[in-house]
Amino acid sequence: MSAREARALTECLFASDNTPEVDGADDLYAVYNEEGQYHIVDLRTRSCTCRDHQYRCSQHREMHCKHVYRVLFREGRPIPEWADRSRIDPLLLRTIEERADDD
């Protein structure tokens, strides 16, 4: 299991594609933490403005920072079997359930 994936699932994060920071830009998401700080994720290239991505993940094509993982989960990446659903960020669960209702 990936520690970054686990953090993307359990930490309190908010990923949005229509806040002012990214409005009008396809495939761009702003991922906010509880303090309101954010990083910009480009879903097309799976890149992110955070240090974790810049210094580590960009060297490994299959390694993503927690922000990219959060956007991937929000957009339909399946929740892994090992994940304890009771620990998943309720905001993410709600987003996933709402998407399922739309289908």
Residues lying near Zn ion in the complex (CB under 5 A) are found at 39, 48, 50, 53, 65, 67
Minimum CB separation of residue 3 from Zn ion in Å reads 14
Minimum CB separation of residue 69 from Zn ion in Å reads 9
Minimum CB separation of residue 45 from Zn ion in Å reads 12
Residue 97 belongs to what H/E stretch?
helix 90-102
Contact 95, 79 (CB under 8 A): no
Eight-class DSSP state of 42: E
In this complex, which beta carbon is closest to Zn ion, that of residue 51 or of residue 94? 51
In this complex, which beta carbon is closest to Zn ion, that of residue 3 or of residue 100? 3
Give the whole-angstrom CA distance, residue 3 versus residue 25: 29
